[in-house]
Amino acid sequence: MAEPASKKARTADLSSLQSFKYSPPQTIAEIGCNHKGELEIAKELLTLAKECGATVGKFQKRTPKELLTPDQYNAPHPNPTNSYGATYGEHREFLELSLEDHRLLQKHCQSIGLEYSCSVWDTTSAKEIITLNPKLIKVGSPSNTHWEMQKVLRDE
């Protein structure tokens, strides 16, 4: 098996980099939860991202009741003016798109020539997004030490 380019890049022997194959960079449009929980807004944001030159449209998927403690879930939103629910948990639930919504967004991406991607924040979300088989599943910094989720992403 060939040595990965990342390992080759750490060597002082620059001749070993000759086999490196250049690929154009990808431009990722972070849609996140800017869709306000509405599928049609999410599709519109993908289309706009493609028109602006993005090559990937990326969402985020969370399971608020798994991710938040009961106190966090039931706490008021820190900025009630921007809240979509009586509690922070209800706010997060409102913004979440279903797995079927993500499947439809992936199809929309395919129809406009954009790659679909998603950040996952918890084990349930990871298992769900894996079923879509996207080329890229991102782990957000807050989840870097979520070992159970990391194992799911590695093994499933």
Convert the pLDDT of each residue in 104-134 to its tens digit: 999 999 999 999 999 999 999 999 999 999 9
User: What is the C-alpha separation between 83 and 73, in angstroms, rounded?
Assistant: 13
Which value, in Å, is the radius of gyration of the alpha carbons in the chain?
A: 19
Which H/E stretch holds residue 124? helix 123-130
Q: Which of 1-5, 25-29, 43-47, 65-69 has the lowest mean pLDDT?
A: 1-5
pLDDT at 20 over 50: yes
Q: Where are the alpha helices (DSSP H) in 16-98?
A: 39-51, 64-67, 70-74, 88-95
Give the pLDDT score at 140.
Answer: 85
Instruction: Provide the token pair at 26.
Output: 């990808």
What percent of the chain is predicted at pLDDT more than 70? 88
E-state strands within the chain: 28-32, 56-61, 115-120, 136-139
What percent of the chain is predicted at pLDDT more than 90? 80
Instruction: Provide the token pair at 12.
Output: 């002082």
- Label residue 1 by pLDDT band (50, 70, 90): very low
pTM: 0.84
User: CA–CA distance from 44 to each of 1, 26, 41, 59, 112 (Å)?
Assistant: 43, 20, 5, 13, 11
pLDDT at 6 over 80: no
Mean pLDDT of the chain: 91
Number of H helices, E strands in the chain: 8, 4
What mean pLDDT do residues 90-94 have? 96
Give the pLDDT score at 8.
Answer: 47
What mean pLDDT do residues 3-30 have? 70
Q: What is the dihedral of CA 72, 78, 81, 87, to 10 degrees?
A: 10
CB 128 within 8 A of CB 96: no
